[in-house]
Structure formats: C-alpha cells, structure tokens
Structure 1
Amino acid sequence: MTHGLLVTPFYASIVGTWTSHDTLVATPLPDGYWLHAFPFDSNSAFPDLLGYGLGFQDKSATIRLLINPKNSGASGWKLTEIQSLDFPVGMTYADLTGNGLNDIIICDRYGPSMDKLWDAKTENGGRLQWLRNSGDRDAQPHWTKHHVGNSTGMHSDLTSPAPIIIYTPAYGEDPSQGPQSWSENIAFPSQFRLIHDAKLLPGTNSGLDMVLVAGREGIALLWFNNASKKWEHRIVGSGLPREGDNPYWGSGSVDVVRVGDDPVGYIAACEAFHGNIVSVYTKPPHSTKGAASLKEDIWTRRVIDDFGPLNSAHTGTIHHVHAFHSGTGAFDSFGIACMGAPAGKPENQGVYVYTPTDKDAFKKTKVTEESAGRLAVASFTEASKEEIASISYYVPGYHTGPDPPSVRINSVEQCNMASRTTISATKLNKEVLLRVPRPGAVPHGFIPSMPLLTIAGKKHTLVVLRPDQEIKLEPSAGAKVIYGSIKMTTPNNDVVTRTIAAAVKETATTHPLSSDGTIKGGIGGAVFVLIEALDGHFQGPYRAMDQITTTNMFTQVPHVPANVKAMEFPFIKVEDLSWGDKHGDGLWNDFEFYNMTGFHIYFNDDTMEEICHMQAWTLGLGETARFHNHDKQSFCEIHYCLSNGGGEGNDYTEKIDTAAELTKSYVESRSTKLVVPTMFEHGPLWKILPNTKWTPQLRPNDTVDYPWHAWLASEFGDRPLPIVPPLPKEKQVFDLWLA
C-alpha cells in the first residue's frame, strides 16, 4: 500500500490526539536558547542533552551537559558545565577523534544582538570551534576548545548574501588527537541570505550527505554533484511571500517527516524568520520516495496554521520545527517551539504537535505551556518511544517570558485510559493550567479529582463527574459547577439541576440539596470545584489578611511537576499589581483590596477550549472594588462568595456615574442591590440575547455587554473612602470570593 498526503487544502484543528506528561529537567536557568539531544558516545542507549542560552553583554554563556539518569544511575537529571562561550548559537556533534566519544561542534561570538554582530575579521566574530569530549560526564575541567574557522553572522544585514562554507578536517599522524587544521571551501558565495535552520540528510546523495536550509530564499536543497565536482542547489519551496514592509519572508525552520515507508513523506516548516505561519509541503501520491524527491518539481505549499499578526518589529512566536515519530499509524507528526510572543498570550507559548489525518487535515495538540525556543526529539527514557525535550526561549533584550527558563521533557502518547481518568497540572507564568477529561469520556466507576489549594481554611478540589455518576458531599460543602450540570433530589423528591450559574441577576446556594448530600452528573456530566471547610481551621469572619492564608495542595499529587508543587498563592494588594495602577490614577490606593491569581482550566482533548479562569479576591469593610463594565476584554464572570464578612457584601448593577461612585447616597439611589451570602453564587449580570438563557449580547468591539457593576462590602460608604488609616482588626471584616 502506498501512503500519500493529497494536495487538497489543509487546516489544523485543535483536537487532542496526544496526551503529555512533563518531566522537569532543569530550572531555573539564567537564559535559554539552544537544546540538542547528545549521545555521549557510540554505545549510548539513551542520549543526554546539551543546553545553553546566548549569555549576556557582561557574562558569557554556560554550555551545560544535562546528564540523563539512565546514564548516571542518579534519581534525576544532573547538570555539568563543560564550557563557557560568548554568545553561542548553533551546534552539532561528531566523533572527531575516532575514540567512540562524540565531540561538540559549536559556533559562538555571534554578537550582542541581531543589530550588533561581531565581524569575523576584526572581532573574531562568527567563530566555529570544536570541543573535545573529556570522556567523563562529570568532569569538572572544561572540554578543551579547538578553532575551526570564522564567518560573520547573517541576521543584521537582511539583504546582502552570506556565504555557505564547507570546513574539511586535516589530520596528522595520530588521528586520535583530532584535526590539526581545517580547510575552507565556499560552496555558495552569494545565493542565500538569512539562513536560520539547516536539516542534514545523511547519505542521501549516493552515499554523500545533502542539506535542507530554511532562509529568505525559502527551503533550499544543497548537495555536491560528484560527477561535475560542483555544488548544486534547488529551491524546494519559496516559503512565505514578501508582504508590505515586513523585512522577513521565506522560511525560518524546516524538517522532513515520514509517511508510511517514505522518510520524506512531507516537509514541515515555520515561516518566515521568527514568524507565525505553520506550513507543510506535500507531493502527490505515488511520487518518488525519499530525499531524491526533493530534487523534483512536485512540492506544493499549504498553510495549516497562523498564530496571528506579527508585532511592530515583525516578530512572531515560532522558532523551530522538528519531526516526531509517534510509533503508530502511517503518518509521523511534527512539533513546533513557540517562544511566547506577544507576552501574555498563552496560546502563543509552548510546544504544539501537528498530526496528519486521513482526511487531508492536521490535528493540533499542545503538549507544554512553557516557552520553547528549540526542540530535541529522542528516546530519552524508553528505547521504543520518542519524547520531546524543549528549552525556554529567554534572550534578554529580545524576548523573555514571565517564568525563569527551564528544560523539560514531554512524554507524548496517544489518548489512553490515563487521559480519560487523570487531571494534569502545569505551571503557566504565575498561574496553573489544569487539563481535565471531558465528563463523557470518563469510564464508569472513575471520578477524576485533584486537590488544588486551601483558602482561609477551605479546601478546593477540582472534580470531573461523568453523566449519572453519583458522589456524596458533606452538607456544609459547596459544589461550584464550571461545566455541565449536576442533579440533586430534595427531601420533597424534587429533582433540582444546578448548572454553571444561578438565574439571571439572582443568587443561589451551592450546598447539596439532597438529604444525604448525594449529587449526580447531569446529561453531559459536570466539572465542578468542591469546596470543603477543614476541621480545626478558622472559618471566619476574617478580621485580618493574615487569617486568609493559602496552602498549595498539589504537593499531595505524585504526578504533578515539581515547579507546580513549589508554587505559592499569595494575596497581593491590588494597588501593588502592575494593572492596579495602569493609568497612574491610583484608583485602589489605600483600599484593603487584594487579589490571588489562580487557575486556567481546559479540556485535555481540545487544548484551546478553556472552561474558565478562576482567581480569588478580598475586600475590607465599607470599601468598593470599583465599578467597571468589562469593555476592553471579552468574558463572562460569576462571583462565588467564600465568606460574606459583614453579611451585606454585594454586587450593584445598572448605569453609574464613576465620578460619584464612592458616595453612598448616590450609589444606593441609582443601583440595584444583590447580596451574595457565604457559599452562594450569583447569576449572569451581563445583558442576555433574547430567547436565550445565558447567551451574552456583544458590543461592536466583541466584548460582552455588561452594565456597570462592582463588589461593595458591607457598610459601604459609611466612612470616607479610602479609609486611612485602615480599620483596626477589632473593627475590620473582609469579604472573600472567587471569580
């Protein structure tokens, strides 16, 4: 049977073909850029990793050997510093001494930035060296450096051609000492510009190698014609077309991907330089197989994904592409590394895997949320399974994410029983991203759950309940439904269905209504947050913020990554947050108003379908969280009250004059009061489309049409605002709620 990808239009749908488990290899690192799977010697069954950043203006970069515990016998990955270099960029490896140990070939002295490249002749710039393998993974002395040559980097000048140079080693009488010198041959003096990636195709040219390069000219195949004794090239695909004033076009990274028994079944590329486009190049069924097909004019480019507009500097988020062997099926997949540009857009950060289907489409799955600059794909822990390692893209002065750089390995598997019964957690900036199975996919008899944290003596647990599955809760517990519905039978035998919100502009309890605390998954099942008061813990009213403490409960879950277990969840005064004084107007200065950032909750079979975002807030007696109407961001919000300290904490709705919003008489005369008692929630405050239950009306800018509203504490406005100095402990009482 012949397998082929048809040249009909493709698209990337976000469907969870894979599930992923993180293994944290190293964090925190000072910087991050390059990662490479590195077999230490010819007998290595499992590769180690080599990782590094570009370094800093006043501090060289450290080249680190990350030692696989399979090779060291240790309980975890170990780091050894093997060399220190100035602005290193790309690398590869080869046994240059013939002793079975792989040496490193690496270029450095690139320069401080793309606009300040070091010249090869005057500044020893674009230096190429090889590092001799010490023979000992744990050796402390640096691996010795040996010079190969120099060639100035090509990022700064985007228009002038840069030469492609072939360096050939010359050995002395004792080859075990390594090359004594290197001859230099310019294969292509002026044909290429801004090459950002190269893919070696070993032995594919009658025993000689060929190379695919990605640059401004697109994707080009390079080879040596042994008959004519000349270097030749062919443009396989031109990549992203030139558009407007964007100085980057062509391609940025490339790899070949297997289809059936064809090792070059299709080509995966990200375009252009640091761009936002994912493309594949396909050939018709029954075409020439293998690398020979790259010399033929049979390839068709298809864009399968776009991560949105570039920023003002024409920079996007995709930095690297790498083929990935799934181990099953006719089609191999490929992964992309996304830096995280622009910052604050989670969908533009992390590693995605694209898998072809038999319907001329690609399924897209996110396997890690952490920033990624480079992928290394190999069998790190199991000989029969490839895994994806990635390193954060963290280059000060160009792009840095909110988290310290790290290296991690993702074990990527097809969806199985674990994905249907397990909740996963990963660190996402300063928050946690939780992935849950769809209730309908959960097998009979399983109730996936994960403890999250405690807030003020109340434990919060995320629970997934399949349709008609029963669970018993304590009468004092609360069940905040965030997806689907639960059913309860009251003592009067009435069946009550609780969904994600109470009725419009009304409130409702979240306690179980059945006499024995039994709740049951609704028609589509449910995802809910179970809130339970802990025995022996103070339950309020809370008179000081030191009574509203939080505890990380992820420490109790074995499969949660260490960086999530190490997280803290502090309440931070809003006036101290970056957005709390965004316009310099000091709206919340001297207010006892605090925020605890929290959790993004997604389904694990559809990585971009977010269920909700959850965070916590507190507000002091007599104060206001300020009126707002969500006219800049589009979302729907429900408040769940954990503690109504003064008994009258509430939301006010309808139009308000913000100039008078601190005046009690004005607010009370023009607003509607909606008290939300402890362990209650309110229904939608947004404007509803006619003939729908909750569907929001949208404004012309696609934001949800909200009236002005605010959380106001009990005794609002009884004292001039802000209250300075703050109320003493004996007079203070805080409201505490989730949103």
Structure 2
Amino acid sequence: MVYLPDPKKMKKDDDPAGRDLIMVANYNIRVEVHPPGSKFRPDNEEGIKVLYGRVTDIDGEWKPLGNKKFPKRYSLTTKDKYLSVSETTGAVILRLKHNGELKRQWCPQENVPVKNLFDMNDVGLGTLDLKFIRVKDTWWGADFKDAHFFNMTGFHFRFLENKQNIAHMQFWIAGPNVDCRLHDHSDNSFKELHTCLSQGSSEHNETCQGGMWAPKEIYYNEPLDEIKRLRDKCSRDRHKGCQGACLEEYLEHCPLQPLQEHGRIWHADHYGQTVYRKNKTVSYPGHTWIAGPGPYVDVWMALEFDGKLQL
C-alpha cells in the first residue's frame, strides 16, 4: 500500500513528492505527486502515466483513463521539453524510465528482470519482496495448467488524507501463443488499462503481435458466453502460428509496443459516462490478452483504477 498526499492541497512552489517503486523488464518505475500549476521535465524517451489529475504537453491533455475507446492506443512518451500540471487538480504520475540495459526481450527460458526499489529502511520496514508467480500456482489460476503465464501483484495507491483508493498496479508475462482467457470483470469494480513493457513478437506483423482483444462494435454488448463462442471459432490448434487473421473477423486487436497503452474497454453511454451493472461493478465486454508466436514473451503493466473515483 502506497499512501500519497492529495496534490490539490499542495502549493504551486512545493517540491514534488516521490518514491521509487520497482524495476520490471529494465524499466525503473517511480510514483510522483506534483502540485497544481507546476511544471516538470520528462527525461528522454521516458514514459509518463497519469494516475490522478491532468498533465498537458504540446499535443494536448493527458488523463488517467485516456481520451478514446479501444482499439485506439497511445504512447506514454512525449517530445515536449516540459509538461504542465493542472492548475486545479495537480497530478499523481508514474515515471517509467529504461535503465539502459541492452536486453529488451526475453525467451520463455529466461527470467524477466525484477528489482524492488521501494526502500522503507528509513522507517525500519526494509524492501518489499515482489516476484512473478506462475498463474497456475495462484488460488484462481489452476485452469492454466502448464501455460507460460505469470503474474506479479504490485502496489495499491491511496490518498493519505482520506484513504481513497486510486489504483492498483500489477504486472503480467505471457509466453508465445498464450491466451489469457476472455473475462469481463463481473465481480470487480475497476477501470483497467494496460501498458506494454516488452513485445514478444515484434518481428511479426501487427495482426500477429501480442496485445489486447475485445469485441467488434457489432458484438460489443454481447454477453461473455457469446464472445467466447465467437472466439472458439478460431481453433487454437489450427492457428498455432498466428490466430490473429481469424480472430479479426470477430474481435478488434490492439497490439502494443513498449510504453504504449490501449484505450478504454469498459462500456460507456452516449455521453461517455461509465456504465455499471446491477451489482455496482463496471460493465465490460469479454476481452483478453493473447500473445503472438514469439519467440519472446510479452511483458505488460496493468493499472486498475477505482471504479467510482472521478478521474
């Protein structure tokens, strides 16, 4: 749990508050809180992800939940020398900076590098021991059996003053041709976005690259079982090299390169307002990450934003 000051309560000339969190796939990830009306300078080719508030560059406003729906994608990098923080909200951001190591892709036989940077020695708590766990060994993942599919839970971000949840950050690895299974978050209330850290099938065309899949517009409001039926028309056995060409008949695909993020998948009304189910969870169509033919693994970061927080 990472408790953060509310940026709205900071003064413009206050120094930003920040802490290093973790290194994953050779990206150092840091959280920072910037006061309203301030500016900051991004490092070259650094990814900036807004968790709360607004940040503006020469191309427009950056929001936590993006501006457009799936299958649009965005780069978290900017060519601007300075980014301006909202005068009213301030901003909470993640900074994703590559550490300079030459290696950017990993075979299934290799360990994707992880280093815990969240040092709490100053308060006697040491460092966290975070690591990737095979999904089949989790309480919910027995059905994945021998799939090369790993998860690492990460950090929960909350405001210190009122303990308001902002987002949960976690990480995933999927080996060649791994299908992470269609799901619709029917028992969770969050708004989820994913950022690629390593594309395992970059040598293939985009249809075959790893990324998120969600229904085409005509199927977007169909129940999960119907989306699964459509997905099953593309036999995994008959398309081991690349399932994309078949899947694109029914599903939209958003392949991602490092530091790219896909647009919103959850349902929204004609006014862009989030649709909720009767059980108060955020309404989603069925969607899944499917890795390409490789030969490397996909590595990505998931951010699960609080389903009711106005972002």
Tell me the amino acid that sits aligned with residue 571 of structure 1.
F
Deviations 1:469-501 (A, max 9, x none): 111121211011111111113xxxxx5111113
Deviations 1:3-46 (A, max 9, x none): xxxxxxxxxxxxxxxxxxxxxxxxxxxxxxxxxxxxxxxxxxxx
Deviations 1:714-738 (A, max 9, x none): 23xxxxxxxxxxxxxxx63011111
Greater fraction strand: 1
Select the residue among 541, 546, 559 that pairs with 2:122: 559
Residue of structure 1 in register with 2:20 after alignment:
451
Q: Is the 8 A contact 1:456 1:538 kept in 2?
A: no
TM-score in terms of structure 2 length: 0.82
**Separation (CA, whole Å) in 1 of partners of 2:93 and 2:274:** 22
Q: Is the 8 A contact 1:651 1:710 kept in 2?
A: yes
Go from structure 1 to structure 2 and tell me whether the alpha carbon gap of 1:512 and 1:575 turns closer, same or farther (over 3 Å shift): same
SS of the aligned residue for 1:440 comes to helix
Residue of structure 1 in register with 2:197 after alignment:
642
Deviations 1:366-393 (A, max 9, x none): xxxxxxxxxxxxxxxxxxxxxxxxxxxx
Tell me the amino acid that sits aligned with residue 91 of structure 2.
A
Note the aligned Cα RMSD (angstroms): 1.9
Give the structure with higher Rg (CA). Answer: 1
Residue of structure 1 in register with 2:44 after alignment:
475
For residue 529 of structure 1, report the CA deviation from its aligned partner: 0.8
Deviations 1:500-528 (A, max 9, x none): 133111111000230x3x21212311111
Q: Percentage identity across aligned positions? A: 25
Select the residue among 499, 511, 515 that pairs with 2:77: 511
Select the residue among 709, 717, 732 that pairs with 2:295: 732
Tell me the amino acid that sits aligned with residue 114 of structure 2.
T
**Separation (CA, whole Å) in 2 of partners of 1:560 and 1:676:** 39
Go from structure 1 to structure 2 and tell me whether the alpha carbon gap of 1:649 and 1:496 turns closer, same or farther (over 3 Å shift): same
**Separation (CA, whole Å) in 1 of partners of 2:102 and 2:24:** 11
Q: Is the 8 A contact 2:10 2:36 kept in 1?
A: no
SS of the aligned residue for 1:637 comes to strand
Go from structure 1 to structure 2 and tell me whether the alpha carbon gap of 1:631 and 1:637 turns closer, same or farther (over 3 Å shift): same
| Matching of residue 488 in structure 1 with residue 53 in structure 2 | no
**Separation (CA, whole Å) in 2 of partners of 1:681 and 1:513:** 17
Q: How does 1:585-624 map to 2 (within 5 A)?
A: 586=143, 588-607=144-163, 609-624=164-179
For residue 467 of structure 1, report the CA deviation from its aligned partner: 1.6
For residue 634 of structure 1, report the CA deviation from its aligned partner: 1.7
User: Which segments of 5 or more consecutive residues in structure 2 lack a partner in the other structure?
Assistant: 203-208, 216-221, 237-242, 303-311
Q: How does 1:314-353 map to 2 (within 5 A)?
A: none
Residue of structure 2 in register with 1:701 after alignment:
279
Q: Is the 8 A contact 2:23 2:115 kept in 1?
A: yes
**Separation (CA, whole Å) in 1 of partners of 2:116 and 2:77:** 24
SS of the aligned residue for 1:559 comes to helix
For residue 545 of structure 1, report the CA deviation from its aligned partner: 5.9
Tell me the amino acid that sits aligned with residue 462 of structure 1.
V
**Separation (CA, whole Å) in 1 of partners of 2:127 and 2:118:** 9
Residue of structure 2 in register with 1:673 after alignment:
253
Residue of structure 2 in register with 1:688 after alignment:
268
| Matching of residue 499 in structure 1 with residue 63 in structure 2 | yes
For residue 546 of structure 1, report the CA deviation from its aligned partner: 3.6
Q: Is the 8 A contact 1:453 1:460 kept in 2?
A: yes
**Relative CO higher for 1 or 2, CA cutoff 8 Å, sep ≥ 6?**
2
**Separation (CA, whole Å) in 1 of partners of 2:25 and 2:188:** 30
Go from structure 1 to structure 2 and tell me whether the alpha carbon gap of 1:688 and 1:545 turns closer, same or farther (over 3 Å shift): farther
Q: How does 1:346-365 map to 2 (within 5 A)?
A: none
| Matching of residue 442 in structure 1 with residue 22 in structure 2 | no
| Matching of residue 578 in structure 1 with residue 139 in structure 2 | yes
Residue of structure 1 in register with 2:219 after alignment:
none
**Separation (CA, whole Å) in 1 of partners of 2:301 and 2:264:** 15
Select the residue among 70, 84, 94 that pairs with 1:529: 94
Tell me the amino acid that sits aligned with residue 472 of structure 1.
R
Tell me the amino acid that sits aligned with residue 641 of structure 1.
C
**Separation (CA, whole Å) in 2 of partners of 1:538 and 1:569:** 23
Q: Is the 8 A contact 2:24 2:113 kept in 1?
A: yes
Residue of structure 2 in register with 1:627 after alignment:
182
For residue 662 of structure 1, report the CA deviation from its aligned partner: 5.2
Go from structure 1 to structure 2 and tell me whether the alpha carbon gap of 1:474 and 1:662 turns closer, same or farther (over 3 Å shift): farther
Q: How many equivalent residue pairs?
A: 273
Moved more, 678-687 or 495-504: 495-504
Structure 1's consecutive aligned runs of 4 or more residues displaced over 6 angstroms after TM superposition are none
SS of the aligned residue for 2:16 comes to coil
